[in-house]
Amino acid sequence: MSKPLRVLVVGAGPAATAMHFPVLAALRDRGKMVLVLICDLDYTRAADAQARFGFLEKTGEAGAALEREDIDTVYIFGSAQLHYSLGLAALNRGKHLFVEKPIAPSFTQACELADAARDHGRIAVGGHNRRFYRAFELLRERSGALGWRYAEAVFHKPESAVPAPFGARTWLDANGIHALDALVFMMGGLPEQLHAVAGEPGGVSPSCFSAVMRWRDGGQGVFLCNNNAGARREEYAFHRIGETYRITDTGVLIEKNGIAEFHALSSLGDGIAAEHDSFVDAVLAKSSPPHSIAAIAPSLFLAELVENGFDGSVLLAPAASAATHAQALSEHGILISHAAPLLPAIARMLPYHRLVAIEEVDNSPRERPDIVAAMLGKGSTALTPSTLAKLPRLSIVGVMGLSLARHSPATLLARGVTVVNASSAYSNSVAEFALALAILARRRAFTSNELMRAGGWGTAARPGGLKAGLLRVARRFRPAARAAGLEKYLLRGWRACQHGRGSIMLRREAQGDVRSASVGLIGWGAISQQFAHRLIELDARVLVYSEHGLACDIRAAGAIPASLSEALACDIVSLHRGLTPRTRHCLGKPELSQLRPGAILINVARGALVEPAALLARLRQGDIFACLDTYEDEPLPATDPLRRLRNVFLTSHIAGGSQDMHAAAAEEVVRQVALHLQGGNAEGVSLARLSTMT
């Protein structure tokens, strides 16, 4: 009996865990393999997979795992770039290889994998499980040597506006290629002629594809792939004279001579176990399986033609080597913490650098001179002194966030390490949110919303109940009170009624557009600058108070340098300072008293910039409106009196928390690190800038 394969698995994501790992565990239980090592940059996922599926060990560094002599087979479940770079490294080290789709970023690179497998006498396959559908096996048995005269393949998904995953160029590579490969497989190879259409009117990246094909024997085929559909649909139809075979999610319908025959064969999860069985059997028997990379690479070639809207004869020319094998796996390593949000951008911009989980360095006693960069995803803690001591060649640290305080940036800068963050992504997102607040508050939309919900109308609240009765009496007797010299007492009661707790007394004439407003910005950082840019585009008059911003820079942006008093006297006042011991409670009673009646106060920076008691007292006067997204104590206590004031619009620190913003932050950090590693000048944070940051 052959020895069981000793397996390294790279990637413990949800799809791999749900579909592939149970099959691998079953093969282990049948004595076909030993699950030696699970590798994932996310140590928690690796530990969960180890415990759940019985891997002997876990790691966060694939490069070192590939060097192990006790590993003979490697499974990789990641991006197209990872399949290529790590897959090529595995084959060159004499390992057998299984990669999911897309098997590589391009047909050329897929051919490199196939060539490496051939040169080293190893088996390399791709995860194209449709070739193992029981429905297709049934049709192949029925067709014999006759083949099919006409074929249809349909693969639709509801993925409108969703970027293609797995490092694929388009959704065709990411998913639709399953159906295209099934068509090629069932028709016996690539077509001879192709007419393809890709994209749709106004589309940026093609997500809809149509193709008409003709094979050398005269057979014809149609391929349809719409990733903007309303529902998922995968169906196939194959025709001969007088015969039609339809494959759906539930089975095969055979129609011949007016007689219908149905075979219930569910496609859900079908073929996964079979493709793994075929791979293991091929390794043990040293034979070529149906889903070898050499066999399925032509489908990737055809997908590239369809993506480009090709029209003409299909000629499969030998692919030239894309690069030396050394390029596939760079000598430079990148330390990663909280990797998940960073990986899509890394797959595109740094596909050939080795990624090392931070736990691997922390758990190792040796130095790692190979690591030249670190990227810290959302929620990461600072690199500890012991970790930094093991990284003598660390040259850049990218933080997927705006705040750097917890990452000891001064220590990094003192070592000569460039520090980059996601300032542009955060500033754009927060500035957009601040602009929305300014527009809606200026139009009294928040007040109108409250009135509408209470059954009222307009933007100016009127007291109800006892207060309303007192006002009616006061108005009725005001002439007599004036004649009797009692008007001042009546006015005193009127003001008390109007400015009572929680009331809203914003002047009607204060309602207007942002374009007619003066806006005072407190601080001149990245967010303030982006907000100013948006305001100036709307023709607002922007005044900026900053202790650090240069007057020439403020003027160059189209704004006006101003004193604090001038900024506080504007129609809209927005806070954009970092929180430091010096700026804590920088707006107290004296400063808040300078806000003009009808003014709007916006705080999307830090709650502790404003002294809480002074803010509450100023708001209780009822003649200003505040939009608050940050608070000194978060979450804001349920009993906080701010919650009961009607002239406050409260949000729960969401100005910079959208999914789009996090994706943009990951893109920005990876782009800066990639620029640095390629010899460019990344926009690092300076010591002077740090002094003003939270």
List C-alpha distances in Å: 636 to 578, 618, 676: 20, 19, 41
Give the CATH class of 330-422+665-688.
alpha beta
What is the band of 451 on the pLDDT scale with cuts at 50, 70, 90? Answer: confident
To which H or E segment does residue 516 belong?
none
pLDDT at 201: 53
**682 pLDDT higher than 90:** no
**471 pLDDT higher than 90:** no
**329 pLDDT higher than 50:** no
pLDDT at 473: 62
Q: Are strands 57-59 and 33-39 parallel, antiparallel or unpaired?
A: parallel
Domain 131-268 falls under CATH 3.10.20.30: no
For the chain, the structural domain boundaries read 5-127+275-293, 131-268, 330-422+665-688, 443-447+507-650, 462-503
3-class secondary-structure state, position 521:
strand
Section 192-204 average pLDDT? 79
Q: What pTM value is reported for the model? A: 0.75
157-161, 323-327, 349-353, 561-565, range with the lowest pLDDT: 323-327
**302 pLDDT higher than 90:** yes
Q: Please write down the HEC assignment for all residues of 140-163.
A: HHHHCCCCCCEEEEEEEEECCCCC
pLDDT digits (tens, 9 = 90+) for 416-430: 999 999 988 989 999
Distance from C-alpha of 29 to C-alpha of 49, rounded to nearest angstrom: 16
| 403 burial type by CB count under 10 A (0-12 exposed, 13-18 middle, 19+ buried) | middle
Token pair of 270 as six digits: 């079908």
* CATH-assigned architecture of domain 443-447+507-650: 3-Layer(aba) Sandwich (3.40)
Section 15-21 average pLDDT? 95
Section 570-589 average pLDDT? 93
Question: Angle 49-53-59 (CA atoms, 0-180°, nearest 5)?
Answer: 40
pLDDT digits (tens, 9 = 90+) for 230-262: 999 999 999 999 999 999 999 999 999 889 999
**For residue 190, which phi and psi values (nearest 5 degrees)?**
-70, 150
57-71, 382-396, 463-477, range with the lowest pLDDT: 463-477
Cα-trace Rg, the chain: 33
Which conformational region is residue 325 in: left (phi greater than 0), alpha (psi within -120 to 50 degrees), or beta? alpha
pLDDT at 55: 98
pLDDT at 456: 83
Q: Which fold does the domain 5-127+275-293 belong to in CATH?
A: Rossmann fold (3.40.50)
What is the band of 351 on the pLDDT scale with cuts at 50, 70, 90? Answer: confident
**For residue 524, which phi and psi values (nearest 5 degrees)?**
-140, 60
pLDDT at 385: 93
What is the band of 103 on the pLDDT scale with cuts at 50, 70, 90? Answer: very high
Residue in this structure with the two tokens 């490294």, named with its chain if needed? 89
Taking the alpha carbons of 54, 289, 147, 191 in that order, is the dihedral positive or negative?
A: positive
pLDDT at 269: 86
Arithmetic mean of pLDDT over the chain: 88
pLDDT at 131: 94
4-13, 62-71, 336-345, 560-569, range with the lowest pLDDT: 336-345
**506 pLDDT higher than 60:** no
Same CATH topology for 5-127+275-293 and 330-422+665-688? Answer: yes
pLDDT at 475: 63
Q: Which residues pair with 243 in a beta bridge?
A: 240, 256
pLDDT at 477: 65
Residues sharing a CB contact under 8 Å with residue 452, sequence separation 6 or more, in sequence order: none
**323 pLDDT higher than 50:** no
pLDDT at 543: 97
pLDDT at 580: 85
Token pair of 224 as six digits: 């349809």
Section 399-415 average pLDDT? 87
pLDDT at 491: 61
Residues recorded for the chain: 694
pLDDT at 488: 65
